[in-house]
Amino acid sequence: MNAKNLLQLLILAALWGASFLFIRVGVTDFGVAPLMALRVGIGAAFLAVVLIARRPLRESATILRARAFPLLVVGILNSAAPFCLFAYAELTLSAGVTSVINATTPLWGGLIGFLWLRDRLSALRTLGLVIGFLGVLMLVWDQIATPNGSAATPATTALAAAAALGATLLYGIAANYTKRHLTGVDALTVATGTMTGATIVLLPLAVIYWPAAPISLHAWASVIALGIACTGVAYMLFFHLIAVAGPARAITVTFVIPIFGILWGALFLGETVSLGMLEGCGVILVGTALATGVVKRLPWFGPRRADT
């Protein structure tokens, strides 16, 4: 990965890390479903414009119609449902904590790939899964023990953490479903189709639960930034990195997102960063590095070679 690609990866991590900040700001005014409906709707519109600019409209429409059902399924599993779960979680948890829990996505992807698609799971990757989920338990315990002045009860905090973890579980299911049912479809078409499907699903809920109280300018600014920058632009950057650097290197953005999530939350929302939170984050990232194969070998782990 050259310097230009590395800079793009850092920008992508900063944008996706900022999404947790914007959700935290917007969810109080909008509520869960309206906020996420606007996010995916704005993102879908942005990606549709890019798709039409790059390919004849008739060709794009033909592909979208042919793959309508799997695109809708992935739209629900990868956008509509997990986005709502994260928004619900951030009614209680900080932006920094939810961004750290987001880093468990590759852990679920590896586990579900093993259970569903029978992908090989080595002893080192299995160790990574165990370490990663241990880090989640550490993080949740830290939030329960030191709630940063929040009025949330331990049960509410645990439920919010479970919602965020459920979101990453859905990301893992979506990744494996995409591998099985959308292989061969280009990433931009998948993104546009899935965001459109998520919009269709969430739009009725947004109408039903649209807030009666006036919405602040800060909340409107947050949802616009969330839709354009953190969804439309971020997806474009991600697909570009996959094309020029490969999926394995592009996915390393997972390790950088929590850094920006914690940083933006501390800088702009005044969120407290505890030692326990940093320890949990570190354990999760170590587990993810092992589970995704970024770290391929530990000198003290695995079978020893026979002496000759």
CA distance 287 to 128: 4
207 CB-near residues (< 8 Å, 6+ apart)? none
* pLDDT single digits (tens) 205-252: 999 999 999 999 999 999 999 999 999 899 888 877 877 776 667 777
The mean pLDDT of 167-174, rounded to a whole number, is: 91
Question: If you ran DSSP here, which 8-state letter would residue 122 be given?
Answer: -
* pTM, 2 dp: 0.88
- Please, which pLDDT band fits residue 3 given cuts at 50, 70 and 90? confident
Q: State the sign of the Cα–Cα–Cα–Cα dihedral 68, 69, 75, 76.
A: positive
The mean pLDDT of 256-264, rounded to a whole number, is: 92
The mean pLDDT of 270-288, rounded to a whole number, is: 90
pLDDT at 303 over 70: no
CA distance 132 to 130: 6
Q: Taking Cα atoms as reference points, which of 108, 99, 97, 88 lies closest to residue 142?
A: 97
Alpha-carbon dihedral 109, 110, 116, 120, rounded to 10 degrees: 160
Compare 140 and 78 and report the one with higher pLDDT. Answer: 78
Q: State the sign of the Cα–Cα–Cα–Cα dihedral 297, 301, 302, 304.
A: positive
CA distance 35 to 210: 9
Q: What is the mean pLDDT of the chain?
A: 88
Taking CB atoms within 8 Å and a gap of at least 24, the contacts of 298-301 are 298/124, 301/123, 301/124, 301/127
Q: Taking Cα atoms as reference points, which of 190, 223, 234 lies closest to residue 73?
A: 190
pLDDT at res. 307: 47
Q: Taking Cα atoms as reference points, which of 35, 57, 36 lies closest to residue 48?
A: 57
CA distance 263 to 273: 9
101-110, 133-142, 292-301, range with the lowest pLDDT: 292-301
Q: Please work out, in degrees rounded to the nearest 5, the angle formed at the alpha carbon of residue 224 by the alpha carbons of 43 and 31.
A: 95
* pLDDT single digits (tens) 75-120: 999 999 999 999 999 999 999 999 999 988 888 888 888 888 777 7
pLDDT at res. 300: 62
The mean pLDDT of 55-60, rounded to a whole number, is: 85
CA distances from 163 to 27, 36, 173, 252 (A): 15, 15, 15, 24
206 CB-near residues (< 8 Å, 6+ apart)? 33, 34, 37, 38
Query: Which tokens belong to 190?
Result: 């998948």
